[in-house]
Amino acid sequence: MPGLVWFITGCATGFGEKLVHDVLGRGDKVIATARNASARLQTQKEAGAAILELDVTGTQKTLDDVVNQALKIYGKIDVLVNNAGYLEAGFLEEVGEERMRNVFSTNFFGAINLSRAVLPHFRERKTGTLIFMSSYTVWEGQPTPGAYVASKGALESAVLCLEKEVAPFGIKTCTVISGLFRTEIFGPRNMKYGAREIPAYAEGNKWSDSLVTQMYEHSPGDPAAGAARIVDAVKSEGTAKGKEVPSFLILGQEALDAIRARCKAMLKICDEGESVAQSTATGAIPADQAETKSE
């Protein structure tokens, strides 16, 4: 595959940082972005990446301007990786609307608005790949990361529609569903906590804090390996040799287990509720009444 130009958000740590180095190592070009980029992306710059300042919560005009600036660097963008995000922690009753809006502003609107800024360029060239980062927690639900899970769940749903909207223009989308990786998502920079004022949740918050510490220190996933699988999928190399870019890319055993469990549970619900679902059609006879009639 010819050399690609990657535009990647949230490149200071974690998947973003590893993606920059993996992409450069394969001979592609990278435009790495972050807030306070000049201070936080020096290693990436020294490795050969172009760096740009970007806050994904900026206005649409601001994001459009950054994309136009990026296009002047190499003349094109082939891949947009919407990686920037953070984890808002807390029981939903305690989180409140303002904190919920903040996490959506980064995790959902940031990714959608930046994609909107890049799409005219992709449509004009009739090619391009949009990558979105999601989480296995969307598929199983957990107490305390509800705001984060909601933002990622909304993103997954929006991308299902976006995929069908942009496919006629030769544009591909891929949602990466990640398990537990040793990144800074559980670190102090990316974990946000609000006021904890409801005594009923005190023990639950203690449990959550302990779990976060364990995940931060002992998550099984290697972010370098995860980043490599993402690049494989986009470039049809390595583990994805000869394959098309997938609509979903699952990384980590936790993600596999959560998705399989949810799918099995939903299939069971479908099987058990099939007659009820079908009984709502005009003129339909509920199964229990149909049995009575036949008698």
Catalytic residue among 148, 193, 201, 216: 148
The answer to whether 82 and 115 are in contact (CB under 8 A) is: yes
Query: Which one, of 155, 173, 175, lies nearest residue 164 by Cα?
Result: 173
The answer to whether 85 and 106 are in contact (CB under 8 A) is: yes
Digit-coded pLDDT (tens) for 176-226: 999 999 887 777 666 777 778 899 999 988 888 777 777 767 788 999 999
The answer to whether 110 and 151 are in contact (CB under 8 A) is: no
The answer to whether 179 and 136 are in contact (CB under 8 A) is: yes
Q: What is the pLDDT of residue 212?
A: 75
Query: Which one, of 176, 151, 61, 166, lies nearest residue 121 by Cα?
Result: 166
Q: Which residues contact 50 (CB under 8 A, 6 or more apart)?
A: 29, 30, 31, 32, 70, 73, 74
Q: What is the pLDDT of residue 1?
A: 57
Rg (CA), the chain: 22
Q: Which residues contact 250 (CB under 8 A, 6 or more apart)?
A: 177, 256, 259
Q: How many CB atoms sit inside 10 A of residue 291's CB?
A: 10
Q: What is the largest CA-CA distance in the chain?
A: 81
CA 199 from centre of chain: 33
Superfamily of segment(s) 5-251: NAD(P)-binding Rossmann-like Domain (3.40.50.720)
Distance CA 29, CA 141 (A): 37
86 is catalytic: no
The answer to whether 193 and 150 are in contact (CB under 8 A) is: no
- Partners of 7 in the β-ladder: 31, 80
Low-confidence ranges of the chain (pLDDT < 70): 1, 188-190, 216, 286-288, 290-295
Q: How is the chain split into domains, by residue range? A: 5-251, 257-295
Q: What is the pLDDT of residue 75?
A: 98
DSSP labels, 3-41? --EEEES--SSHHHHHHHHHHHHTT-EEEEEETTHHHH-
Q: What is the pLDDT of residue 153?
A: 98
Q: What is the pLDDT of residue 294?
A: 55
How many degrees, rounded to 5, is the angle at CA 41 between CA 40 and CA 42?
A: 105
